[in-house]
Amino acid sequence: MFTGLVRSLGTAQLISSSQVRVTCPELQPQLAYGDSVAVDGLCLTVVEILPDGFLADVSPETLRRSTWGQGSPGPRLVNLEPALRVGDKLGGHFVSGHIDGVGRLCEQAASGNAWELSFEVPAAIGRYIVPKGSVAVNGVSLTIAEVRQGGCWFKVAVIPHTYRETNLSLLQVGDLVNVEADLLGKYVEKLLGLALPESGISLEFLAEHGYI
């Protein structure tokens, strides 16, 4: 489990179809064999400690669902976050590190002291995108400022610190990003789906009574 608050930047490169090497001198002293690390939002397990980083295995599912399965195998600058520990502050939102799919940056612009970034995502992700909700883009916890097209287009405002300390500052229009929708929304959808046939409660009923 992660928070979406990036702790450092590193460099990652696929060294085979099933393994990635992550170079992160700043983070390396904190790592141990078997630890989980979010690499651009992907939860990876440390299988070998290196002098300047670590090796992690990647599955075909990981490659298929993420930016690693599209474009160059690297090297690329990546956002890194160690797994949440008991007692740590939860400053972002609950991020599992299990990517839902790939989105695309479609607009970016400076706005005051912040940057506004707009993304397009498939409908399978868009259904969980809601105004003022949370989303993880390349592992960065962001608050959704505006939603269109049923969630398939959304805008976020990125503060200077986040923009400066993550690879969001390197994005160009058209670039692909790893996207994880809010985990809570998926559980709510599943529970409502299980309850509807038995209880007689419908989405229309919930809307009428102010629940959604």
The verdict on 65 and 105 lying in the same domain is no
Predicted confidence at residue 194, as pLDDT, reads 61
Question: What pLDDT, on a 0 to 100 scale, did the predictor assign at position 72?
Answer: 74
CATH number at residue 18: 2.40.30.20
Walking along the chain (212 residues) 10 residues at a time, the average pLDDT comes out as 94 93 95 96 97 96 92 87 85 91 96 93 94 96 95 95 95 97 86 61 68 66
Same domain, 20 and 58: yes
Residue 110 lies in a domain: yes
What's the structural domain count of the chain? 2
In this structure, is residue 143 part of a structural domain? yes
Domain contains 1: no
Range of 76's domain?
8-82
Would you state the pLDDT for residue 92? 84
Q: Is residue 30 part of a domain?
A: yes
Question: Which residue, 82, 110, 144, sits at the end of a domain?
Answer: 82
Task: Yes or no: say if 41 and 97 are a contact pair by the CB < 8 Å rule.
Answer: yes
Is residue 77 situated within a structural domain? yes
CA 29, CA 107: separation in Å to the nearest integer?
38
144 phi and psi angles, rounded to 5 deg: -80, 125
